[in-house]
Amino acid sequence: MVKNGDLPVPPELTDDMSQAAALPNSSPAKVFTFYALSVIGAIGGFVLICRYGQGLTAAAPAAGAAEATLKAAQDHALFHVLTALVAVIVAGRLIGWLFKHIGQPAVIGEVVAGILLGPSLLGWLYPDAYAALLPPSVAPHLGVIAQIAVILYMFLVGLEFDAAMLQKKGHVAVAISHASIITPFLLGGGLALWLYPRLSTSDVPFDVFALFLGVSMSVTAFPVLARILTDRGMTKTPLGVVALTCAAADDVTAWCLLAFVVAVAQAQVSSVFGIFALSLAYMATMFFVVRPILSRVAHSRYFGELNQGVLAVIFVALLVSALTTEWIGVHAIFGAFVLGAIVPHDSVIARELPDKLQNIIAVLFLPAFFAFTGMRTRIGLVSGMEAWLICGVIVLIATLGKFGGTLTAARVTGLGWRDSAALGALMNTRGLMELIVLNIGLDLGVISEKLFAMLVIMALVTTLSTTPTLHYIMGRDLTKEPQPSTI
C-alpha cells in the first residue's frame, strides 16, 4: 500500500531494484584487494612498457620541432592576450564607474583605462610589468580581436541607425550635419599644410594626409552622443531629436568620406576609380537588391524569433558584407555598418539583437580594442613645448570646426543661440568612433605614432568637454523646448 504523500515506484525501477538486491554481497576487504591489485598491476605494466620502449629509436624531428616551437609561442601569446583582457576589463569597469559618477560617459573611462595600461603610464612607471603584461609579440593577436570587436560594434551602430529620423527632419539634419563636417574638414585640410612637414614623411602623399586629417576632425560619435542625451533625459526632446538626427546623418557622411580616403590611400590614382565603381555597385546591390529581400525575410514567420539558425544567417551575412568591402578596398567596418543600416528598423532583428549582443561586445570584445589602442598610444612622444603646442592647436581647430560649423548652420535653420550652441557642443563628441578612424589611419601608415597620440588626446578632450559644456549652456533645464531664432 502506498502511504499518504509517497509516490508509487514504476515497475521498471522495481525490477532494477530487485536485480540489484540479487547481486552477491562481497566483503569490503575483498573489493579493496581487487582494486589495489588492479592499480598496482596497471602501474607495473606501464613501467615495463616504458623500460622496453627506451631501447627503441624513432625518426628525426624534422619539421615537428618547428611546429612545437610555433605552438609554444601561440600558447604564450594566448596567455598574454587573456591576461591583457582581464586587466583591461577590470580597469575599464573601475575607471568607467568613476567617470560615470562624475557625469562622463563610462566608455571614455574604459578608453582611458586601455591607455593607462599601455606605454603611456604603465610602460613608463613599471616597464617590466608592462613587458610582462603586453609584450610586442601579443600585438598582432590582440589586433585581430580588436578588428572583430570593431566590426561587431559597427554592425550594432548600423542596427540602431534609424533612417526614419532623416526622413522626418531630413532638410534640417542634412544642412546642420554637413556644415558640421565641411567646416572641420576644411580646417583639418588647412592644418595639414602646417603639420605635414613636421609630423609626416615623404612616402605619404600630401593629399592623402590632408584628406585623412580632415576626416579625423569631422567625426561625431553617434553612440556616445546618444548615451549623453539618454543620461540627461533629452532623447525625446525636440533638441535631442535634432541632435540624434544630425549625428546619424553625420555618421553616414563621415563613413563615406572615410571609405573614400581609404580607397585613395590603398590604391594608385589609376585604380581609385575602379574601387569607386565597385563601391557604388556594392551600395546599389545592398540597398536595391539585398534590402528588399532582407525586409521580406525579416518579417516572415521564419524570422519570428532569434534562434541559432537565424543568428547563423545574420552573422554569415555580416561576414560576407565585411569581406566584400575589405576586398573592394574600403575596409570591413564599412560593410558591417551598411548591413546593419539596411536591416528593417521594425524587425525582430533590429529590436532584439542589440540587446543580445551589446553586453558581450561592450564587456569582452571592445576592451581588446581599448587595450590595442592603448598599446599604440605613446603620450611620451608628445614631448616638448612645440609638440604640446601642436597638440593644443589640433584640439582647438577640431573644436572650433565642429562647434562653429554646427552653430552657424543651426542658426540659419531657425534655432536660437542657446540651442544652437548646445547642438554644437553635442556634435563635438568624438569618442570611440574617432579612435576607430585613427587606428585605420595608423594601420595604413597615413599618420605617424606621434600624430596618432595627439589625435587620441584630441578625441578624449573634445568628448570629455561635451558634458560640462552642455550643462553650462543649458543650465539645469536640459529638457526645455528649443527656442526659435529671433532673426
CA angle 14, 20, 25 (to 5 degrees): 150
Q: Tell me, yes or no, whether 17 lies in a domain.
A: no
Q: What is the pLDDT along the chain (487 residues), one digit of tens a residue?
A: 445 445 555 555 455 445 444 445 567 777 678 778 887 888 888 778 778 877 777 666 555 544 555 455 555 778 888 888 898 899 989 998 998 888 888 888 888 998 898 898 888 888 888 888 888 888 888 888 888 988 998 898 888 776 665 565 556 677 888 888 888 989 999 999 999 999 988 888 898 899 899 999 988 887 788 778 877 777 777 788 788 888 877 877 887 888 888 888 876 555 667 778 888 899 899 989 998 888 888 777 766 677 888 888 889 999 999 999 888 888 888 889 889 888 888 788 888 888 888 888 888 888 888 888 888 889 989 988 999 999 999 999 999 999 998 998 888 888 888 888 999 999 998 888 888 899 999 988 899 999 999 999 999 999 999 889 988 888 755 444 444 433 3
Q: Tell me, yes or no, whether 279 lies in a domain.
A: yes
399 vs 386: CA distance, rounded Å: 20
> What are the grid coordinates assigned to 13, written together?
525501477
DSSP secondary-structure letter at 428? T
Q: Tell me, yes or no, whether 68 lies in a domain.
A: no
Q: What is the pLDDT of residues 170-218, one digit of tens each?
A: 566 778 888 888 889 899 999 999 999 999 888 888 988 998 999 999 8
Q: Tell me, yes or no, whether 484 lies in a domain.
A: no
Distances in Å between the Cα of 180 and the Cα atoms of 78, 213, 253, 485 are 43, 15, 11, 19
| pLDDT score, position 319 | 94
Q: What is the pLDDT of residues 210-252, one digit of tens each?
A: 989 999 998 888 778 877 887 777 777 778 878 888 887 787 7
380 vs 119: CA distance, rounded Å: 8
| pLDDT score, position 60 | 67
Q: Which of 199, 340, 211 is nearest to 264 (CA)?
A: 211
| pLDDT score, position 476 | 52
Q: Tell me, yes or no, whether 30 lies in a domain.
A: no
Per-residue b or e along 448-486, where b marks 16 or more CB atoms closer than 10 Å to that residue's CB: bebbbbbbbbbbbbbbbbbbebbeebbeeebeeebeeee
Q: What is the pTM of this model?
A: 0.77
DSSP secondary-structure letter at 3? P
3, amino acid identity = K
CA torsion angle for 362, 365, 367, 373 (degrees, to 10)? -120
CATH number at residue 344: 1.20.1530.20
159 vs 356: CA distance, rounded Å: 13
460, amino acid identity = L
* DSSP characters over 357-416: HHHHIIIIIHHHHHHHHHHH--GGGS-SHHHHHHHHHHHHHHHHHHHHHHHHHHHHTTB-
Residue found by looking up cell 582647438 in the block: 396
Distances in Å between the Cα of 186 and the Cα atoms of 181, 296, 342, 425, 475 are 9, 42, 31, 19, 32
Distances in Å between the Cα of 84 and the Cα atoms of 90, 99, 114, 118 are 10, 21, 10, 10
Q: Which domain holds residue 244?
A: 76-474
Q: How many domains does the chain have?
A: 1
250, amino acid identity = D
- Is residue 191 within 8 A of residue 373, CB to CB? The reply is no
Q: Tell me, yes or no, whether 233 lies in a domain.
A: yes
| pLDDT score, position 17 | 47
385: how many CB neighbours lie within 10 A of its CB? Answer: 7
Q: Tell me, yes or no, whether 81 lies in a domain.
A: yes
Q: Tell me, yes or no, whether 26 lies in a domain.
A: no
Which of helix, strand or coil describes residue 484? strand
